[in-house]
Amino acid sequence: MYNIEVTEKMITITNISKEYIDNVLFRNISFNVSARDRVAVIGANGSGKTTLFEIITGNIKADTGSITMRRGTTIGYLKQDIVSSSKKKLLDDIASSSTEITGMAHRIDILRQDLAEETDPEISAELMTQLGELQNRFEAAGGYDADYEARTVLSGLGFKESDFNRPMTEFSGGWVMRSELAKLLFSNPDVLLLDEPTNHLDLESCIWLENYLEKYQGAVLVTSHDRAFLNRVVTKVLAIEQDEVLFHHGNYDSYVMARQKDLQTREAAAKRQELMIKKEMRFIERFRYKARKASQVQSRIKKLDKMERISVPRATRKIGFQFPEPPRIGEEVIKLSHIRKAYDKNVVYTDLNLTMHRGDRAALVGPNGAGKTTLLRIMAGVLPFEKGERKLGYNAYTAYYAQHLLELLDPANNILDEVRKSAKDESDEHLRVILGAFLFTADDIYKKVSVLSGGEKSRLAIAKVLLQSPNFLLMDEPTNHLDIPSREILTDALEAYKGTLCFITHDQTLIRQIASKIIDIRDGNVTVFDGDYDSYLYWRDSLNSEGQKDPVSVPTSVQPRVNRRKQKAQEGEQRNKYYQESSSLRKRADKLDKEIPKLRQRLGEVEIQLADPDRYRDREKATATVEEYHELTAAIQTLEEEQKKIVSDIEKLKQKFGIAKENNSP
């Protein structure tokens, strides 16, 4: 399938198309992958993202088109579903994934054995020469650092030192996926294809992977529904949409802004065209039977027949809806006192104390295995504990969302019947509005639960939970199985929710948009941070920079409650001071948010010009284009550095004035 040749590009994909019977996934995709590219492949579930990766790796054959690869290019591919057959210990399994290093290490051992047994001086000298050359190559390939590198990657992905010597057969599916990702990163291929790499990672491992990929020397193509991850990692976007494939220079947010602008332009053009068509049709209908106007009528009919209609792709829009108002709850929603919880010999909490108050919107964060889900299940009342007290507040009505709810959906029901079970007093008309908000429209509501995808079942289960009108909602990884449009719908729903919320997610965007309080869990200790997620990260970074391994100073949330009215007045005064001092920074940040995408768009246009051989026939044009490319690259780098500093300065001001959450400020 591949043409292998010497080329500056790692991979050149030309006019790739793929369809199954009557389902067209994509047509005529063309793009290049260079050595340091970071490309997000995005699209709705079922749009063909995974199929494109399978075509690039040669596992599936395209219907049309070709792929050209630079000679010697290596590709590493992380699939969504992997079953490990290895019986090796974890560290050995990772270390052996680099066949080049493993092969050289094996050859070095053989040469050393030969040297130990050889008695002929001339042969020994020859063996010594071979051994020296091989050891130099081994060192250059990073062989002597292999064990350290393998341990670093495994630790970054959440494995503990005690896991390194465990056999692979002992690990669950999620941890096997992490080990496969570790293998790929350790083997260091020229091109990484990562299909939903964050699905089985916790929040801290996601952040580690972002930082790792930022420094990775090869190219990266990635599919992900994690918007924050895409914004941090990628610089280009390949969007597979229903009727077209788009290529954009910039991160995910930059693509969304450009796409919205394009849709607005198309909508305006489509409206103008529609008015013009109506005008022409009125003329045709008026003079269709007038002999003296016959030639003009025919001319306009031909004109309309030849006219290419402007199509406007359907975009996911916010849909207004109102969930039932939950009953009012007491000031203290839940109080956990001196809780002890252990699983056999594994003690998770020895003396857990935590209070949540009315209106809290708290995200539980911390490393994998720290006890986040255990805490959430204790609060939900579905997990017993050995010691201590769990006390719900006055009139508290809890609802707990976790993945097991998907299994409780009745496969024989259609969507409308299933959701009606949670809202018997609601009219079908209102239920249709709610289901429409969760992307179940028209006849979709009559689909059987048994035929729904994982993402559709998740959306249905979330809608059912919210329709129960809980005033205390607990959610464990609600974004699992959800694509980006569905995550945006979930965000809308949680923003509209009027009760108290506590949730776990590795979707950083959801935390940023929803959480006003962060509960940090590590080593059995619970620390409550009153503030938004970015302020929390800044606080943790400041602790780490001071050499403190764990939080030792507790923010405002665990201090005694003060008079609420007085507290609100103080908060308002601090907020005003924050706005005054940050005004110029926020204005400059807004300007940069508009300026940088424009420069990136122009850079993309210049890159296309540089790829055109005809451009180099005119020396002056070629020189000017190259100069513009360097100027744009330098300008973007300068502005992005300024942008990072401004964001840092704003976060410092937020900390200074104790601003918890600013939805309208950068």
What is the per-residue pLDDT across 290-304, written as a single tens digit (0 to 9) for each? 777 778 878 878 877
What's the pTM value of the predicted model, to 2 decimals? 0.63
pLDDT of residue 665: 38
Q: pLDDT-derived band of residue 400, with 50, 70 and 90 as boundaries?
A: very high
Is 571 exposed, middle or buried, given 0-12, 13-18 or 19+ CB atoms closer than 10 A? middle
pLDDT beyond 50 at 4: no
CA distance 398 to 258: 41
CB atoms under 10 Å from CB of 338, counted, come to: 12
What is the per-residue pLDDT across 421-458, written as a single tens digit (0 to 9) for each? 887 777 888 888 888 878 887 788 898 989 888 888 88
What is the per-residue pLDDT across 194-211, written as a single tens digit (0 to 9) for each? 998 988 788 888 888 998
The residue behind tokens 């079970």 is 421
pLDDT of residue 662: 41
pLDDT of residue 544: 66
CB atoms under 10 Å from CB of 138, counted, come to: 20
The amino acid sitting at 540 is: R
Q: What is the 3-state secondary structure (H, E, C) of 534-579?
A: HHHHHHHHHHHHCCCCCCCCCCHHHCCCCCHHHHHHHHHHHHHHHH
Q: Mean pLDDT: which of 51-55, 316-320, 364-368 is highest?
A: 51-55
Average pLDDT taken over every residue of the chain: 80
- Kindly state the average pLDDT of the residues 594-606: 83
pLDDT of residue 555: 42
What b/e readout covers 74-110, taking b as 16+ CB neighbours within 10 angstroms? ebbbbbeeeebebeebbbebbbbbbeebeebbeebee
What proportion of the chain, given as a percentage, has pLDDT over 90? 20
CA distance 376 to 519: 11
pLDDT of residue 313: 55
Is 499 exposed, middle or buried, given 0-12, 13-18 or 19+ CB atoms closer than 10 A? buried
Query: Within 13 Å and on the Cβ side, how many CA atoms surround 119?
Result: 0
Name the nearest CA neighbour of 98 among 156, 183, 159. Answer: 183
Q: Which of 40-49, 318-327, 362-371, 395-404 has the lowest mean pLDDT?
A: 318-327
pLDDT of residue 518: 93
Q: pLDDT-derived band of residue 56, with 50, 70 and 90 as boundaries?
A: very high
Contact 43/104 with Cβ under 8 angstroms? no
Is 1 exposed, middle or buried, given 0-12, 13-18 or 19+ CB atoms closer than 10 A? exposed
What is the per-residue pLDDT across 59-93, written as a single tens digit (0 to 9) for each? 999 999 999 888 878 899 998 877 666 778 888 77
